[in-house]
Each structure stands twice: as C-alpha cells, then as structure tokens.
Chains A and B, each alone.
Chain A
Amino acid sequence: MTQYGFYFDQGRCYGCKACSVACKDWNDIAPGAEKWMSVYMWEKGTFPLTSIGILAFSCGHCDNPVCVEACGNDAIIKEDKYGAVLVDKDKCQGDRNCFAACPYGAPKFASDEPGTKMGKCSMCIDRLENGQLPLCVASCPMRALDFGPIEELAKKYGNTRKIETMPDPNTTMPNWIAKANSPKEQLIPYDVDKALQLTKRRTATDDVYFGDINAVTEFPLDTICISELRMKNATVAEVLSATSSDQG
C-alpha cells in the first residue's frame, strides 16, 4: 500500500468553499450539515488587529483510524491501496461511535435524527481509480490544496500535521500536511490605541458615537461571531455555524 494524503496551504485559502461545494456536487449530497469537506472559519483578535482563521479539512485518513476501531458494525474500513478510510453506508447503523472517537469531527451527519447514517470523505477513491485528483483539490481556485503519496508531500512541503488549535496529531497520525499562514508583517507604523480613540472623534458635526470606547475591544465572547476553531460539532446547527462564512 502507498499511503496517500492531503496538503493544505492555509495562506492560500480565502475560505470560498469551492472545495466543499464541489464535493457535495460530485457526491450528490443534499444541502445541509453533511459536508465531507469542511471549511472552518473563525475570527481572531480585536479591532483593528483582527484576523480571520481558515481551515479546510476533510479527513486525515489516519494511520491510526480510531473511527474504524470505534465502529461496532465493521462499517468503516481503511482500504489497502491508497490508505483511504471509507464507510459502508449499508453497514452503518448511525450510532455515532465513530464521531465520538474522531478528534477531527470527520464523520458527518445530514441530520440530528438518531440513526442517521454517517458520511465522510472518500478521498474521491472513485476518481483515484480513474487517475483523477480528488475533486476538492482540483477545484481550489487558489491552488491551496495538493494530494499525493504522503511521503512525497512531506518531502515537498515539510511535515507539519497540525496548525492552529487542531488536535494533537500523535493520537491518530493523520495523513494530512499543512503549512500555516505566515504571521503578518507590519509594513508601516500603526498606533492601535490612537486608532481606537479616533473611532470616536468626529469633526464638523456632533459626536454621534455615544458608546464606550472600551466596548470595541472588550466584550463577552457570546456576543460576537464564532471566535475559535471548532472541528468537532455534534449537531447540524453547530456544524453550520462552525463552517459558515461571513461573506454573504
């Protein structure tokens, strides 16, 4: 077996979700939470030092696929040609033991109804068998994704298996390599405190901004949009919230 895997170049991704939609289209998955390829987006920092966290992740097709062991119905296998972790929907009973086991939230469910069968990234094994790339990889407008034998990817891109607040890779040994977005460079001086004060001032008209300047940077976390990477989402609502873009 040659183990295949994915590469994700975080700095190239703007969270458009072409990969995720293309995956749904290819696999004919209904609108909703069953996103085999998920693009997580969250917000970091406060004004004006805000940044956007972005992570596109489908499945690690792990060396230690804990989902396989967790399934009492032998519905999940790690196949022996590409090392893809696959689910047999005929055998799946929807008990979600796989979801409980996987730290990445890779098993996906279309509904919160008990017994809903699990769906997950198939590595586009049907396409691999025809010599084609997984569709998410071929679709990326920014060419942020790559795919191939994991050893070759590691040689080409390094061996980072975790970025941001992702789970510790040593548990399941995912065949997933990433390059984290480079830290931002400050090109010209910018006095943050002064900028904050300036959000309040007006000239030539009355000051209509009547709020407390501290409220720009200090607020309860539940008042703002999603502010952390959350890969493991138990319900449809949680999945949709963690993978939603603000670009609508």
Chain B
Amino acid sequence: MSRESIVNKLSERHKEVDYFYTTCHNNGCWDATCLIKCSVKDGKIISIEPDDSVNPGIAREDDDENAIQTGMIQARACPMGHAWRQELYSENRLLYPMKRIGEKGAGKGHFERISWEEALDTIANKMKQLAEENPDTPWLYYCYYVAFESSDFPFASYMPGTITGWGDHSTSGSAAAEDFHLGVRLTDCLIKGTSDAFPGFEAPDLLNSKLVVLWGFDPMVAWFGITPYYMKLAQERGCKFILLDPVYNVSAECLGAQWIPIRPGTDTAFGLAVAHVLYSEDLYDHEYVAQWVEPVGFEEWRKYIVGEVDGVEHTPEWAEPITGIPAETIREFARYYAAMKPVHMHQMYGVSKRNLGDYAAAVCILLQAMTGNLSIPGGCEGGGANLVTQPRIFPPVPNTGQIRGDVVNPITNNNNKVTEVMHCQRLYAAGEISEEEFRRRIGCPEGSPLPNLKMAIIPNNYINNQHHVSKRMQGFANMEFSWGWQYYPDQTSIEFLDIVLPSPIIQFESTDMHFFGINRFWGAPSGMQNYFLFAGKGVNPPGEIRSKDWVWMELARRLGFADKYCPKMLDVTDWRDWDEQVIERIYKPAYEEWAKDESGLLDYYGVVARPWEEFKKLPIVRVPGEPGEWFYPFKNTVQWGRSPFKTPSGKIEFESSYLNNNDLTKTRYGGQMDAYPRWQPTYQDEPANDSYYHSWTKNYPLSMVTPVSTYRQHSSNDQNPWLKGDCYEHMVRMSPADAKDRGIKTGDRVLVYNQFGEVEITAYVTSKLLPGTVSIGHGEWSKFDNVRKSKLMPYGIDTAGNCNLLIGDTHLPHIVGALLTAGLVEIRKVGE
C-alpha cells in the first residue's frame, strides 16, 4: 500500500501536463542555445527537463561512438537552465509599467504604477521631442547593444539620433591583435557576412588535438555547452591539458590539467619567453611558417625576442620573476608545446581584457602560427574570434515585411566607451576638452558626429555589468530621460530609468526577438551548429507584462512609421493577440518556405521537413556531421587553397604592416599600439592601471581578476535562490597568505577597495589561487547601503560585491577597445 501511495504522490504533479521546448539562451551564457523541455499545467511551468530531442533515455551518449562522431547529441543545460521557475514565479517580478518620481539614482526617488497608455505615450513623445531638438547630434543610446558597427536599435533606419558602436564586449581585448596580425575581424565573419574566413572550430575537432592549453580559460564554466563535453572525451582518449591561469579552476580539475599559475597581466612576458625557446632552439614549424607567415616580420620579431632590438633577451630566465613561473617550466613548456602538434592553445577573453592585453592575445596567436597549429585539424586560432564557424543547417528566415527607412547612422564610438561618451560630453560642452580629445577617448572616427546623449533605453542590467560602474552611474543619472525593460525592482539599472516597463522572460513568455537579429528560430551554439530550435510562446507572463515587440510596434505607431516597421502586424493592436499572430503570420510562413527545401540542403542531409503543426510539437531539427570531417580553423579557405588572412601581405604578419604604416591615433583606435607584441609594463610613460608595476600597488597591492560564474549569465539569475545560497555564495577568493596578513578567515565580511570603489563582501580563503591575487566573480547586482556615502560611492558602499565597481576604464595612450576586467585592490576586515 505504502509504495503505491508514495509513487502516486510523487507522480501527481506531473500528470496531465503539456510540453513545450525552448532554450534558456541568454546572452552571458555564451549564447549556448541549450535545449529545455518545459511541462505546463494550469498555465504555469511546473518543471524543466533537459533535451530529449535525440537519444532519449540515454544517460551517457558517448556509449554510442557514432553519436559522438556525428554530433547527434543532446544540448543539455547547465544548472541555470533548470532554475528558471525561480525567476519566472518570483514574488519579486515587476508586473506593471511604472514611472519614476524624484531624482535618478539608488535610494533617490521612487516608482509609481502607471498605465500602459501613459507609459507608451510618454516614451513616444519624449523620443519625438529629442529627435526634433537634436537633428545633427546622436542623442540616443540603446544598450542592447551598440556593437559590431551597429546600434541594434529597432528604429535606427527610421529616426536619426542613435549612437552606433564598433567593437564588442566579449572579444574586445583580442580584436585588435586578430585584425592587425591575422586580418581576421569578428564583425566581418560573424555579423556582416563579408568574410568567409572562419577562425572557429567544431567541438569534435578536439578529438584530433594532442594537447590543449587552457590559457586563462575555464571552458566548463565559460564556453559553449557541448564543447566542454568533447574536451572531456578528448582527455579520456589521451589528449593532455595544461592550465595557465592565476586561478585553479574546475575545468582543470575535470580535465586533469597541470596547473601553471601565472601572475595576472604577465601573459605577454610568458609568451615571449616561449617564443625565445622556439626561435633559439629552432623548434618552430618551418614548413607552416614558409607557407603562411610573412617572413620579414617573423625575423623582426625574432630580433626583438633575442634582444637585438632593445638589448633585453626575452629568455625564460627573464620571464621567471615577472610571471612567477620557474624558468625551467617555461622552457620545458615550450619544448612540450612544440612537440605535441596538433595543439589547441586557446586563450580566453579575460587574459586580454586588461591594459595592454592586446599584446597577450597577439602572442598566443603568433605562437600558434609559429608552431603550425593555427589552421590545422586539432589546432586553434588562439584569439577571440575562434567561436565562429559556418552553421551546418540554416534555420528558416522570418520576414516581417519590413521596409527599411533611409536613415544612416554613422559609427560614433567604441562600444566599451559609452560611459566615456557620457563623461566626455559634459567636459566637451564645458570647453574642458577639445574635439580631438573627445574623439580619441571614445573611439569616434573622423567625420562622424560627436554624440551628446540625452536618452538611454535599457532592457537589461547594463549599468551594473561593466568596468567603472560609479562613473557609468553618474553618466546615466545625468540623462534627460531614460526608459527600458526590467525584471525585478532590485536590479541596479532600474534606479536610472524614468519609465520602467515590466519585461517578459522572452524564452518562455513571449515571441520576442532576442538581440542582434536572433529570432525565435534559434541557431545552435559555437562548436556544434548542427541544429536549430523554434521557440514559440510557452506560457503567459504574469501581471500586465506584454511582449516587447508589441511595445516596439506601439511606439512605431505613435512615431508614424509602423507601416514600414512591421507591415505584417499593422492591424494587430490588441496585445492579447500579438504572439499568436506573430507565429501565424511570420514564423509559420517562414517555416513552410524553408520546408520547400529549394536549396536541396535538407535532402542532402536526409532531413524530411515535417508539417508545421507536427514540427511545433518537437520543434528541433538536427543534422549529422561526417565523422572526421569537422571544421577546424579556416578549414574552408585552406582547402580552397586561398589565404584566410586579410592582412596587407595576405599572410600572418608577426610585425603588422598596417601598424607600421598608419598612425592609429588618427583612426577610431584613438591611441597607439606597437607593430609586434612587446613586454611593456608601462606604455609611453603611462603604467597600466591593473599592472603590478603601477605605483598604485603601494596602496592596492592585490591583483584582482573577475572571472564569469557558473551561476550567472552576466548578471542574469543573480538573485535566483535555487542558485545563490543553494549552489554558491558570492565571495572574494583570496590566498591563505594574503588572508593571514589581514587577519581574515573564510566567512569574514571584508571591504575590498581602491580608488574606483568600495565593496563589502564575504571572504573565501583558498589555495586555488596565486598569492597576491584575488578573484571576484562577475555579475553580482550592486546593493548600495545608502549609509556610508562618499564622493566615490555617492549611493553608499556596495554590500553585494560587484567587482565592476573596482575597475577603471582608462585605455589611452594605448588603443581604445577592450572591456577591462582586472584591477588593483586592497582588502581589510570590516570593522577594523
């Protein structure tokens, strides 16, 4: 009796449910498009299961070698994918439009509920007014997000005034190195489609690698879901792993990696010493270098490395005290690296997202070229754009009938310099800086109009999430009028909005576009782009939450271009009909067009397109790859016998001819950069802000790194109680030696501070990092206490532990571009 009643009780919740599939994809989880299956009862999601669209009921998919070799495997989610119900059904959700009463800034004003009509009318009127008042000056910042030479603002072609950003956040530290030494530009191959040179790799190609060097890389936590699984399989089959990082991470544990701790920001010195061994012991790949490398620059860099330029021989002994790595280890690493081809040496973004980090990225790329590992099976391009491959299946293309307007918005700034835009526009207006200085500091190309921002549209938690939060808050507090979507009342960004709209969680509650053209036909992630998903709308959002695309359409109506913006939805005014009609009018026809298979690709793969109604039940299409034929970096162009390297010489340039022949200060890069990577703790007499060699170390001797977390997608999911508390506590990680010096032990509340901010957080004392280094995970929502206020912390000290409050945003005299993620700090026990 007892068994039956227990089983019945356990089963009760899951009886009579409906299912829908979606993805938990949220930018900041590396856009991984993991697949989740949601069961719905009485209009609510009651549980989330992992992908079962292939190999259902199979636990270890590698039991079937064919599944591994053809990539026919599930896209299983990380813990965040299973925790969404705590987000969706949080009592804390914003449910109504609100307007701000009083000043902007944490603790300064308050919100009052308003109607949708009032919210939309106010926003539209304000946009109209600002557009009229500022005909020649960019006044609008849409922060989701200004990058890749675009603004991503839905109305950009209809109304002038949006700023447009070059660069991106993720690969911002390595982009210049890739551009100048390889002629590879992420924007061209990923966004614009103007280059077919793809620097990425598909996950099964890792099975060809003999050695993987994780350079500042924690792939289990910080790379596209399926790739880490293949890394593990590669390791089980004999591939070796080395971790080069100030912090020992879970990937190193899982992959059996040998940890070589390195002092933060000294990666360039390490790489130069490795190059010294390769040059002096003649261990480089002569054949590869002869074919792909521009010879003069190769020789010039050698001269620099061996000391013929500045008299400094960049030997392992030279690098030892800089990096903290014994010289013998550096030398043996170089020999081992040279002998283990193919090597997947993969430097992660954070290594180069610091002052002068472009050189660290360049060194990794050049070493991969020297050893002939850059464009071979089992190799790796080494830089930041190495996420790009060509999808194996192209999803249907939804057509909204949009007729683009004729407004052209010139590029106005680097996308990591928006805070600087807000800062400089005040200085410029006050006559404190010249036009030239303004341009240089924000990366504004000659001929483009200089921005004077008045409005920000914030659909995320941007203000919280990047370097120099205090400076950004000041900029946003000075905006004339800002609005946006938010999810919860305690998001840092909400305090800087005049009108807040309650946001649906779009993966579940609407049919909204994601960003940068990502629509409801969701493509698969880097490493395994062999499937796509159609994500319909699973459940209705709570309260008065309405679809975001309905909001855009309502604004387009008020601004007078709805007929051009989305003709297919022109007559749908009732928000209750919106999502159903979007699917019926836009997605269904797109699918049916795709299903005709006019290209013959589906036929090639043996995919039989199911009728729409049937497809919707299991809305995933996945195609097998050919065993052994997976993409490696630049495979297509290499096989066509064409150079993928769009440098002036068409080869890999160790010494960049572009940098030699151009003054970067006259370009959008604003500052200078040397033609090959050098070790320069200071650049043109300016010590790097985050360097051990800065005099600031007298006051702030600890070097802080800020890796991403397993439990936050940037800052999304930060308050999720199935994650925070259940899975982790947010803490500052520090060495027992540094803790002892300060009388700190695990669990103590400590103040982490420097000249940029003050953050109170709990200490976690661990041997997993290099003494002298501290680590705070990125993405915590600031919580200002409104008590301990100062000029530095006008809203009080942050008691949550947001690392971005502790990072400055200075780039020049080096080039503009990187999103900075490191800094120097000091720590003391709270109350002492």
Contact = CB atoms under 8 A, between A and B. Distances in A.
Interface of A: 11-18, 20-22, 24-28, 31-32, 35, 43, 45-48, 50-52, 54, 74, 77, 79-81, 86-91, 122, 125-126, 129, 131-133, 135, 137-143, 145-147, 181-182, 184-191, 194-195, 198-199, 201-206, 208-213, 215-217, 219, 222-225, 240, 244-248
A24 B256 contact: no
Contacts of A202: 321, 692
B228 A184 contact: no
A145 B766 contact: no
A43 B768 contact: yes
B701 A208 contact: yes
A216 B59 contact: no
A244 B728 contact: yes
A13 B722 CA distance: 19
A139 B83 CA distance: 12
Interface string B705-744: 0000111100000000111111111110101111111001
Contact of B240 (A87, A185, A216, A245): A185
A138 B6 contact: no
Contacts of A35: 726
B322 interface: yes
Contacts of A223: 736, 739-740, 744-746, 765
A222 B308 CA distance: 53
A147 B251 CA distance: 24
A164 to B, nearest CB: 13
A139 B77 contact: yes
Given A25-B48, A52-B253, A201-B321, A18 B79 contact: yes
A191 B771 contact: no
A139 B35 CA distance: 11
A190 B258 contact: yes
Contacts of B721: 31
Contact of A198 (B321, B681, B693, B724): B321
Nearest to A81: B3
Contacts of A54: 250, 253
Interface string B49-60: 110100001011
B767 A248 contact: no
A52 B772 contact: no
Interface string B291-330: 0000000000000000000000000000011101110110
B85 A222 contact: no
Given A31-B721, A142-B228, 18 more contacts: A11-B254, A11-B256, A14-B254, A16-B250, A20-B79, A22-B82, A50-B768, A88-B6, A138-B49, A138-B52, A139-B77, A182-B256, A208-B698, A211-B737, A216-B767, A219-B736, A225-B765, A246-B766
B329 A189 contact: yes
Counting chain B CB atoms within 10 Å of each CB, the highest count among A27, A54, A194 belongs to A194
Interface stretch (B7-15, B170-178, B369-377, B420-428): B7-15
Contacts of A212: 737, 740
A51 to B, nearest CB: 6
B229 A25 contact: no
Secondary structure class of chain A's binding surface, majority of residues: loop
B78 interface: yes
A35 B321 CA distance: 46
B10 A199 contact: no
Contacts of B724: 248
Interface string B252-286: 01101011110000000000000000000000000
B533 interface: no
A90 B13 CA distance: 17
A141 B225 contact: yes
Given A89-B9, A138-B49, A209 B261 contact: no
Contacts of A47: 261, 735, 767-771
B767 A18 contact: no
A21 B82 contact: yes
B62 A187 contact: no
Residue in A135, A141, A201, A240 with the greatest tally of chain B CB atoms within 10 Å: A141
Contacts of B59: 133, 137-138, 140, 143, 145-147
- Determine which residue in B85, B701, B724 has the highest number of CB atoms from chain A within 10 A of its CB, and name it: B701
A139 B767 contact: no
13 contacts: A14-B228, A15-B250, A24-B726, A31-B86, A32-B725, A47-B735, A81-B3, A91-B2, A143-B229, A219-B736, A223-B739, A248-B724, A248-B729
B605 interface: no
B3 A77 contact: yes
Given A28-B46, A31-B722, A223-B765, A143 B60 contact: yes
Contacts of B766: 43, 50, 224-225, 246
Given A139-B50, A198-B320, A184 B2 contact: no
Given A21-B83, A28-B46, A43-B766, A52 B250 contact: yes
B736 A22 contact: no
Nearest to A35: B726
Contact of A126 (B7, B50, B321): B7
A187 B740 contact: no
Contacts of B532: none
B220 interface: yes
Contacts of A138: 49-50, 52, 57, 59
A204 B693 contact: yes
8 nearest CB pairs, A to B: A248-B728, A31-B721, A223-B745, A215-B737, A219-B736, A208-B701, A126-B10, A14-B250
B336 interface: yes
B756 interface: no
B764 A209 contact: no
Nearest to B240: A187
A240 to B, nearest CB: 7
Given A52-B250, A209-B701, A213-B737, A248 B692 contact: no
A141 B77 contact: yes
Given A244-B729, A246-B764, A51 B253 contact: yes
A216 B220 contact: no
Given A47-B770, A205-B697, A191 B78 contact: no
B328 A189 contact: yes
Interface string B8-35: 0111011000000000000000000000
A128 B405 CA distance: 57
A188 to B, nearest CB: 4
A205 B278 CA distance: 30
A186 B258 contact: yes
Interface string B315-358: 00000111011101100110010000000000000000000000
Contacts of B9: 89
A21 B48 CA distance: 10
A190 B329 contact: yes
A211 B328 contact: no
Contacts of A210: 741
A89 B10 CA distance: 11
A52 B50 CA distance: 27
A206 to B, nearest CB: 7
B81 interface: yes
B232 interface: yes
B636 interface: no
Contacts of A90: 5
Contacts of A199: 324, 737, 770-772
A25 B370 CA distance: 50
A77 B256 CA distance: 40
A141 B194 CA distance: 35
Nearest to B73: A143
Between B49, B81, B710, B737, the greatest number of chain A beta carbons within 10 A of the residue's beta carbon is seen for: B737
Given A125-B7, A209-B701, A211-B737, A48 B731 contact: no
A191 to B, nearest CB: 5
B82 A25 contact: yes
A208 B49 CA distance: 51
A137 B60 CA distance: 9
B800 to A, nearest CB: 11
Contacts of A188: 242, 258, 329, 332-333, 336
